[in-house]
Every structure is written in C-alpha cells, then in structure tokens.
Structure 1
Amino acid sequence: MTATSAAAPPLSPWVLSAFWCGSAFQWLVLLLILMPANIVQFVGEAQKGTYLGTLTAIGAVMALVLPPLVGARSDRSGRRLPYLRLGVGINLAGLAVMALAVTLLGGLSGFWVYVLGFLLVQFGNNYATAPYSALIPQLVPPAQRGRYSGVMAMLQAGGQLLGAVVALVVTFLALPQAVAFVLVAVALVVPAVVTMRGVHETPPTPQERRDMAAAPTLSLRQLFAHQPFLWVFVTRLLFALGQYSVQPFLQYYAADVLGQRNAGTATSIMLACIIVGSIGSAFLGGRLSDRLGRKPVIYVAGGTMAAAALLLLIAPNFAVALVLALLFGLGFGAFTSVDWALGSDAMPSRSSYARDMGVWHVAFTAPQLSSAPQGALLDWGNARGGNLGYTLVFGIAALFFLLGVILVRRVPEQAHAPATQT
C-alpha cells in the first residue's frame, strides 16, 4: 500500500474530508440556485421543469458510469490524489464553459453549450471523487467511522450553508452571474488544496503493486451478493430518489406554491434552514451511530425527512415552510452523518475500496436520472391546476424516504467490519 494506508498515522477528519466542503458548495449553488434560473433564461417558463430535469438526467449518466471505472483504475495504481488534481482541473474548465454560455449566449444554442459545460463539471467532479471516496474506509478504523462520517457531513453542510449565503449576496447585490461561477471555482479549489496537502501519498513499491495485483477482488455480481453491500446500496438509492424528487424543483416550488416573488432568494433562505438543521444533527448523529449502531439513527432521520416532505405540501405560508425546512435538515444531517459510515462498513475487500465506493456512489447519482420524468410529471400535473405537480413529486419523495427506512432493517449488523481484509 501507499503512505495512505491503514497503518499510517491517523489524519485529522477535517483535513481528510475538506474537499467535500468545496464539492458541496458547488453542487448546491449549481443545482439549486444557478441552473434553475439559467434554464428559465434559456427556454422560458413553460418548459422549465422538463429542460431542467433533462439536464440533470444527462449529468447523471456521467455520474453513473464514471466512478466505478475510475475507482477501479485508482485501485490498480494504488493512488488517489493524482485523480483528485486532474478532476478538479476539468471541473474548473466546465464551470468556465457554463459561465460563457450564460453571459454571452442565449436560446437553445446557448443551452447546449451550457450542457457541454455541465458535462465537463460532472466528468471532472466524478473523476476526482471516486478515488477520493476510498480514503475513509481505507484510513479510518470501523469503530471511528461514525465520527469521521459526522465530520464529513458537517463539512458538506457547512459548504452548502456558505453556498446559500453566497447565493443570497449575489442575488441581493444583483451581481453578474459570472461572479457566481468564479466564487464556485474558488470555493472548490481552496478545500481541495487543503486535502491534497494534508493527505501524504507516495507511489506504491513494486512489491506493493504485486501484492495489490494478487489480492482477490470481487466481481460486480459477487459484490452485490455480499448482503451488507446490497442492502446499503438499495437503501441509499431510495433516499437519493426521495431527495431528487424534490431538490431540483425547490426554486419553482417557492415561486408557484409559496408565492415568493424573488424565488432565488426564498430558495436560498429555505436551503439555509435545511443546512442549519443538518449541521445541528450531523456530528451528533455520527457519534451516536458509533455507540448505538447505524440503523437506529437512520430510522429517526428517514421518518423525519418523510414527514417534512409531506407537510411542505400543506404549508400555509413561507414562515411555516422555513420551520419544515429546518425539520427536514435535522433528519438529513443525521442521515448523511451515518450514511458514509454505513457504506464504509459494507465494503467487502480492501483491495477494491475505490471501485466499490464508486459503485456504491452510483446509488446516489443514478436517481438523478429520475429528474427528467419527475420534471415532466411536475409540468403535467401543474398544467391541470391546483399545483397538482408538486403534490405528486413531494408525495413520491416521502414514499421513497419511508421505503428506505423500512428496508434499512435488512442491512446485517455485521456490516460494521469489512468481510475481507487483504
């Protein structure tokens, strides 16, 4: 193994997970603030849900295919950080293309240039995060993974909160959209540098390469036959389906259901409430999962998220919606803090951490493909009046959360330790 091996001195969880902060900042600002507004600019109001869902789904295809492939290559090379460096560079190039399409182009021609930029962002980010995802199971003992996962969840929530604040400032000051893209780039690079400088990695020796090549690696069929991995994958898939049933359309909900004239600002405030709740529960959830087990925390978190999604449908005003957003955040933060620990526990072999984490990550990215039919369903329902589209997509989200809570019971308790240590 390299210097980033299980025998290496423990790293600070804040350094190890710093890049997740920048990545979370980027995805919050892009998916929930910039992209919904940019799509309306390109195609208008009537087809905003369809085009936004299609764009999200196109990006999801990249996120679906790339992580397992890059992860497997990282496992063979024994390296993680070179992939992080190159991936961040490609990500930055994609942000530049998206900014160019918004500021200099328009209409459908501008939209397709925007799509190209978004694909570069997806490629670069997934190229970086697939090997990077292997560092927690590779470096952190099972008994400490809840704490490390909690810190990671806090950093993600902190990045999202910073993103929401920045979006509010950009909107309030009516700054050019190019400024928002520059801020996203800066927020991505700074924590990436913290992680790359803090995690010390050396190339594997020839003997280590031979050992890695000789180590048994499960086929994908064997991987899914491993019960802890299978059920962790399924439950994460369901929670992500719930998230992506609602998340891309939150800005439209603020305008159409809550009647907010400045939907971008209203969305940023709602997101800030969700994130504050997430920060409040993330670290505590991770700590509790190390003591009580992963599943009890997920039961409470998933039930809370489902209840909040349903109650948002009958929120009488924006103030009540903010309280419900805070409630949803409490559940989401607790779930996120345990989610990574549960996934790390379920990895069956040390010889394929990056590939297997890449496969597991598909359970989070593949549900983005549902945004296209959900967007079409939203437009179809709303065309029939009474905000029927929002009732459908929010109700579907609650159903997915509840199914995730029910099926997490199938995750075997012995998932707390890898089955094969090679």
Structure 2
Amino acid sequence: MSVSPAALAYASRQALSPLMLVRLNIYWLGLSLLWGGFAIVYLPDRVEQLVGPDIKGTMLGVITAVGVTAAIIVQPLAGGISDRAWSRWGRRRPMLILGAICTAVFVLLMSLTATYLALLALILCQQISENFSRAAIKGVLPDLVGTTQMARASSINGILNIGGTVIGATIAGVFLDAGNPGGFVFVGGLTVAFAGLLAFLLIPKGPTAPAAPQPPLRSEFGQVISYLKAQPAFVRVVASRLVFFGAILAADNTLLFNLRDRLEVDNPGQWSSILLGLLLLATIASAWPAGVIGDRFGRKTVVYVACTCGCVGSICAAFIVHIAALGFAVVMLGFALGAFSAGDWALLIDKIPNPNSAGLYLGLANFAGAGGDAVGTLWAGIVLDLGNRGGQLHGFTIVYLVMALFMIAAALILRPLQDDVALLKSI
C-alpha cells in the first residue's frame, strides 16, 4: 500500500512550535465567536422582531438555507482562487484579510436594517465574504504544517472553533438579557476584523510562487471527478464527517427541548448554558491529547475513540432520564467532538487528492460541515415530532438511539482506509 499523495507531500516539513500552531489557527476564534452569537442568539431574535412570531421559524429557515447554499457553492470556488492567489504576501493571507474586513462591514450594516429582505440580502453578502476568508484559512495548515503535526494543529483548530462558538453565544446572550441584542453586532463585527488582522500579521506568508505551473481554475474543476475517482478515500472521509456532524448537531438542536419537555427542569435556559460549558471543557480536555495520539499512532485510532465516546453518550441519554445522565452524555459528546476534530480533519488533509489544490478540496469538504448542520436539524426535528405525538415523548429516545447509529456509521465508513502515519514511519 502506498502513502497518499498529500500526506507524502507534507511529510518533509520542519516541526513547528505549539505557539506557531496556535498562530496558524487564530482566525478561527474570531470567526466562530461571530457565528456562535450570530446564529444561536442574534438572528433568531432579530428575525422575530422583523416578521413577528407567527412565521419566525419559516423565515429563519430561509436564512439558514441561504447560508448553507452559499457556503457549499462559494467555498470550493474561493478555495480554488486562493490556491492560485500568489503574491508577495503569500497566497492565503490577502484573501483572508479581505474576506474578514468585508464580513465585518456587512455584519455592522445589519444594525441598520429595517426589513427582513434587507437583512436577508446582507446575510447573503456576509456569507459570500465569510466563506472566502474560510476558504483561505483552511488552506493554511496544508501549506505550512507537516504530516507528523497535522492532528495537533487540527486539535487547536477544533478548540478555537468550539470555544469561540460558546463564547460568542454567551456574549450575545448577555446583550439579549440586557435588552440590547443589537450590541452583539458591533462586538462580533469588530472581533472578526481584528482576528483577520491578527491572522494576517501572525501567519507566515509561506511560498510566494508555485513550485510548478498550475492549470486554470476552470480546468482544475474539470479534473475534480477524475482526482476523486483516483483517490476515493477523500470522499469517504467527507461522508464520515457528514454523518458524525449530523449526529452532533441533532444533539445540539434538541438539547433545550429535552431539558424543558422531557426532564422538566427549572430554568432550562440556565441548564442549557451549564451543559454547553461542560461540552466546551470536555472538548478542550480531549482535543490536544487526541492530536498527540493521532500524530503518533494514526488518525483512524482517534476517530474510532471519538465515535465510541459519542455512541456511549447517546445511548446513556436515550435510556436514563435524569439531568445527571444528560450531563454525562454531554461530556462524552464533548470528548467525541474534541477527538474527532483532531483526528478527522488531519485525516481529511492527508487524503486531499491533489496536494497543490488544498483550498479547493477543503472547500468541497465543507459540504460535510454545512450539510451536517442541515441534516442534523432536519432529521432530528422530524423524528422528534413524530415520536412525541400524543405526549409520549418517545421521540427523544429515538433521536439519541439514531445518533448512536450515526456514530457507529461514521467509524465504519473509514474502516477500508489506510492510515498514512504508520506507512510513513515504515518508509
């Protein structure tokens, strides 16, 4: 068996310090802080203000659909452009800072919107600019990090993503409770602009010219299918990510309903914040050790551990109706999320079909992230409504059992793949 082209291409790079790995990922903190508060708190409240309570769910769903569609379409295109955007500042940093600034401008303009259509138009513009910056930052690790450090670099990516999301949601919640939900627009917009500037200054520019001539972008897109056929492992990793995040997002979207309707706790909002805090701590606690293990023993080992933790947590939540059991389940899901973010993202980078076009292929892989959100929201909502008919509340049990099956499936999808870490050590 041979080593995957990308893993082999990235194998000879010099080791980077942990501080440098943080610098390479710093933009994710600002971006996830913005999106955490924006999507979880600000947008639902703002949409209700503009359209009223009767159709708020539908109108919020339209915004979600627009965002997911933009992300799936824009990121591969932006990634392909980023792969070719050679300049004296490198090929990722100019697009990153430009996308961050434009994102901040569109977010700040949302404070001036007086109609739903104006908000929708600005969100579309914000999604386009944000996904250009996302495509650029996703290409940084394949450009600069060696194969033997990729899982640790990916673990920091996961920590900053989850941490930023929770921090952003918390800040937005404070503004909401204070009667000033629009205040988060300024905090989020300025934060993402500052994070983009920090990333531009702290990320090394890397190569300023291609080592070999690159085909035109249109030609590159035309070759995608042939590359994927030659390296089908990449498709398997994307499918595994889609299934895994389809389970994780189902848990996220049903948490408040579980607390309020099944457990009937007092202050479900407060308990939701506590459990999200536990999720964050568990994610942080597991991510870096998982990265170390992934770089030493292989990515699949880490993914299998992650899926096992997720399966155990899901089964516990299904059969034990108690707040302590739900807390344990959330911790296990946090362990799963931290380990998966380290092992699976590194595995995805290892399996990029064309190592010279990392931005394009990681942009295509966004189908799993954006699609997982949509899939998790859709299937869990349908199952919950059907299972809870008549007040029986069986829907929660079914949702968590299906989540466990999703975790098992996410692991089994990867079973045929070779692990490049072990193969590189044998060379």
Structure-1-length-normalised TM-score:
0.83
Q: Following TM superposition, by how much is the alpha carbon of 1:80 offset from its aligned partner in structure 2, in angstroms? A: 1.2
Asked if 1:272 corresponds to 2:274, the answer is no
The gaps in structure 1 that reach 5 residues or longer are none
Q: Following TM superposition, by how much is the alpha carbon of 1:48 offset from its aligned partner in structure 2, in angstroms? A: 6.1
Asked if 1:196 corresponds to 2:197, the answer is no
Partner SS state of residue 316, structure 1: coil
For 1:9-408, list aligned pairs within 5 A: 10=16, 12-38=20-46, 52-78=60-86, 79-101=91-113, 105=114, 110=116, 112-167=117-172, 169-170=174-175, 174-201=178-205, 204=208, 208=210, 211-213=213-215, 219-225=223-229, 226-259=231-264, 262-314=267-319, 316-370=321-375, 371-372=377-378, 374-375=380-381, 378-379=384-385, 381-382=387-388, 384-408=390-414
Q: Is the 8 A contact 1:53 1:248 kept in 2?
A: no
Q: Following TM superposition, by how much is the alpha carbon of 1:42 offset from its aligned partner in structure 2, in angstroms? A: 5.7
Q: Is the 8 A contact 2:249 2:372 kept in 1?
A: yes
Q: Is the 8 A contact 2:27 2:198 kept in 1?
A: yes
Judging changes above 3 Å, is the alpha-carbon distance between structure 1 residues 37 and 326 closer, same or farther for their aligned structure 2 residues?
Answer: farther
The gaps in structure 2 that reach 5 residues or longer are 1-9
Q: Is the 8 A contact 1:346 1:417 kept in 2?
A: no
Name the Cα RMSD after superposition.
Answer: 3.3
Partner SS state of residue 410, structure 1: coil
* Cα distance in 2 for residues equivalent to 1:122 and 1:374: 25
Q: Is the 8 A contact 1:24 1:160 kept in 2?
A: yes
* Cα distance in 2 for residues equivalent to 1:193 and 1:23: 12
Q: Following TM superposition, by how much is the alpha carbon of 1:391 offset from its aligned partner in structure 2, in angstroms? A: 4.3
Judging changes above 3 Å, is the alpha-carbon distance between structure 1 residues 59 and 416 closer, same or farther for their aligned structure 2 residues?
Answer: farther
Judging changes above 3 Å, is the alpha-carbon distance between structure 1 residues 13 and 210 closer, same or farther for their aligned structure 2 residues?
Answer: closer
Judging changes above 3 Å, is the alpha-carbon distance between structure 1 residues 53 and 13 closer, same or farther for their aligned structure 2 residues?
Answer: same
Judging changes above 3 Å, is the alpha-carbon distance between structure 1 residues 299 and 7 closer, same or farther for their aligned structure 2 residues?
Answer: closer
* Cα distance in 1 for residues equivalent to 2:250 and 2:37: 18
In structure 1, give the amino acid aligned to 2:242: L
Q: Following TM superposition, by how much is the alpha carbon of 1:201 offset from its aligned partner in structure 2, in angstroms? A: 2.8
Partner SS state of residue 353, structure 2: coil
Aligned counterpart in structure 2 of residue 412 of structure 1, from 411, 414, 418: 418
* Cα distance in 2 for residues equivalent to 1:177 and 1:302: 37
Task: Please say which of residues 141-150 and 219-228 is displaced more in the overlay.
Answer: 219-228
* Cα distance in 1 for residues equivalent to 2:188 and 2:38: 8
**Aligned sequence identity (%):** 25
Structure-2-length-normalised TM-score:
0.82
Q: Following TM superposition, by how much is the alpha carbon of 1:10 offset from its aligned partner in structure 2, in angstroms? A: 4.6
* Cα distance in 1 for residues equivalent to 2:207 and 2:237: 32
Partner SS state of residue 414, structure 2: helix
Judging changes above 3 Å, is the alpha-carbon distance between structure 1 residues 40 and 389 closer, same or farther for their aligned structure 2 residues?
Answer: farther
